[in-house]
Amino acid sequence: MASRLDFSNQTILITGASSGIGTAYAEAFAAKKANLILVARSGAVLRQIASKLEQQHGIQADVVELDLSEPGAAQKLKDKHPKVDGLINNAGFGTHGFLQDQDPAKVNQEVQLNCGALVDLTQTYLPDMLSNRKGFIINIASTAAFQPVPKMAVYAATKAFVLSFTQALWGELKGTGVRALAVCPGATSTQFFEVAGADAAAGSMRTVDDVVKTTFKGLANNSHTVVDGASNGALAFFGRVGPRRLVIPVVGRMMSGRN
């Protein structure tokens, strides 16, 4: 049964808040009267977002310009902002192409940001939530988490890690008052494909507002995982239960049409 969640006067930390889904989360939580800590490398953009949200909603929005893929980033963040009521691990990016053609340094950064930084931040902020017996951790996975994806092998593997990690964490947190939720968007209208160096997905894409609505529903239901959109849910089911010898070629053909 869904429960009503009150976020007013809570402090929500959002990584990757300078664009796309991260900005949409910031806007949604500000509208619910939560105070924000916005984290990304783009300080100037964050400050514009923070100023707008403070004026519109009368909340406090602090900005931290930080590269979360660097060692010790989570502790630096906690030193500045030791207490949060909610953590949204949204920062991440994908790479596209055959593995042997990709920049090793960029791939390493992808793994560190998508997986390492997410775990570090979770482990850094979780103890206080457990002490207070309340709070939530939202980790952004992907429908790519449900099957291997040729030409996005590393990205899909990082999101499979995020999905497994979050579901296990949800199991560990039962009865503690702290919630963990893996959010799995499919193709969404953001700059993701541009950054990854791939063409946008064919067909209609979901919006960032769709993802946010799905997130709030999953959080209220204390779900461990939500997939945004019915068609994406069907694709995720196919990727999860279909024979790998069938699934991998199908996904590979889907990706072959992109740069």
CATH fold group of domain 11-256: Rossmann fold (3.40.50)
CB burial of residue 222 (10 Å; 0-12, 13-18, 19+): middle
152-156, 170-174, 199-203, 231-235: range with lowest mean pLDDT: 199-203
Whether 155 is a known active-site residue: answer yes
Instruction: Tell which residue, 1, 97, 4, 18, has the closest CA to residue 53.
Output: 18
**What was the pLDDT predicted at 235?**
81
What pLDDT does 176 receive? 98
Least confident span in 27-31, 53-57, 178-182, 234-238: 234-238
Q: Band the pLDDT of 163: cuts 50, 70, 90.
A: very high
Q: Which of 125, 155, 170, 192 is catalytic?
A: 155
* Res 189: pLDDT: 64
**Calpha distance 184→171 (Å, rounded):** 18
Give me 207's structure tokens. Answer: 């919006």
